[in-house]
């Protein structure tokens, strides 16, 4: 397999590397640039996002007609590694989870330009944030989504949702939420995916679950559904296609998560190497 990058991708990769070195990494030195959860503060982020957009280093994973760079999976792999040399990096380029994966999912499954304008474009433009709500507390669905307990019951033109999700990244502050819920007891076709606007009544965040290390904006939250009503027109694909949606959503996310961690691990190794070279102990270096 040929892993050579095209000159276009290599150019974007190097520009991201330079941008991160020049504008992002220096911010890590000042506590005032962090929010309360170890992530870049919204104030520091805003200016950098304008700069990244102006340089054409924005939402690389989305097609050019929507304002992205359409770099494809190979390009994403190379560029995500570079942007994640700083934990602040991915969100600066609008390539942080969960928006990153949600944008790719919505680009693929929303059937019309009109629906993309409503649900996808504001995420690409960085005007709203999004979340993907699948995992549930025990005994609900986790690695095994077929154990899902949250239900969506059809009543006329709406689906009424009851249940609970947790570890939902970015939920605090997210406006566009993809939800996977049980719509029948069929083993393979029992789940269906929907889109809802977090301003609607019937769903609330019960708590933000702490994790180790910096948290994405909006944290990892537990959400309670107590009668959320979702119009049938906000269903994604067909009734029973919920498992398919999770595969479309989570497949590319395996690649992008790994590349981000690789970038961060390389930087950590470089920092450790520099320290080891300079460290004096027991009279020797």
CB of 206 to ligand FAD, least distance (A): 15
* Shortest spacing between CB 275 and ligand FAD, in angstroms: 28
Residue 167 found at the interface with ligand FAD (CB under 6 A): yes
Residue 143 sits in the site that holds ligand FAD (CB under 6 A)? yes
Burial 169-207 (b: 16+ CB within 10 A, else e): bbbbebbbbbbbbbbeeeeebbbbbbbbebeeeebebee
Q: Token match 């190794």: residue?
A: 269
* Number of residues in contact with ligand FAD under rule CB under 6 A: 12
The pair of structure tokens assigned to 196 is: 């809802």
**Token pair of 96 as six digits:** 């942080």
Helices 99-109 and 242-278, axial angle in degrees (round to 10): 150
Task: In angstroms, give the least distance from the CB of 192 to ligand FAD.
Answer: 15
CA dist 256 → 51, 74, 104, 133, 138 (Å)? 23, 10, 11, 19, 27
Stretch that binds ligand FAD, among 49-57, 60-68, 135-143, 263-271 (CB under 6 A): 135-143
Shortest-Cβ-distance residue relative to ligand FAD:
142
Q: First-to-last CA distance in the chain? A: 43
Among residues 102, 169, 183, 256, which is the contact residue for ligand FAD, using CB under 6 A? Answer: 169
Q: Is residue 142 a contact residue for ligand FAD (CB under 6 A)?
A: yes
Here's the x/- map for ligand FAD, 188-227, by CB under 6 A: it reads as -----------------------x--------x-------
Of 257, 123, 252, 140, the closest CA to residue 178 belongs to 123
Interface residues toward ligand FAD, by CB under 6 A? 98, 132-135, 142-143, 167-169, 211, 220
């Amino acid at each position: 397999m040929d892993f050579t990058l095209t000159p276009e991708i290599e150019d974007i990769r190097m520009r991201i590397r330079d941008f991160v070195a020049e504008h992002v990494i220096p911010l890590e030195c000042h506590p005032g640039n962090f929010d309360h959860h170890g992530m870049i503060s919204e104030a520091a982020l805003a200016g950098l996002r304008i700069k990244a957009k102006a340089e054409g280093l924005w939402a690389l994973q989305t097609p050019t007609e929507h304002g992205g760079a359409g770099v494809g999976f190979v390009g994403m792999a190379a560029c995500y590694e570079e942007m994640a040399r700083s934990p602040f990096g991915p969100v600066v380029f609008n390539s942080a989870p969960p928006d990153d994966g949600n944008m790719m999912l919505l680009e693929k499954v929303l059937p019309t330009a009109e629906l993309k304008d409503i649900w996808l474009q504001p995420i690409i433009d960085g005007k709203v944030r999004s979340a993907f709500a699948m995992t549930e507390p025990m005994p609900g669905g986790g690695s095994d989504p077929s154990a899902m307990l949250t239900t969506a019951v059809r009543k006329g033109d709406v689906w009424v949702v009851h249940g609970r999700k947790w570890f939902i990244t970015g939920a605090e502050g997210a406006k566009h939420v993809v939800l996977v819920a049980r719509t029948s007891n069929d083993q393979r076709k029992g789940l269906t995916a929907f889109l809802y606007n977090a301003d609607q009544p019937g769903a609330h965040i019960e708590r933000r679950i702490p994790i180790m290390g910096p948290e994405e904006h909006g944290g990892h939250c537990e959400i309670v559904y107590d009668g959320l009503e979702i119009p049938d027109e906000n269903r994604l694909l067909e009734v029973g296609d919920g498992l398919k949606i999770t595969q479309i959503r989570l497949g590319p996310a395996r690649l992008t998560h790994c590349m981000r961690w690789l970038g961060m691990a390389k930087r950590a190794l470089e920092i450790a190497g520099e320290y080891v070279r300079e460290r004096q102990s027991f009279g020797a270096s």
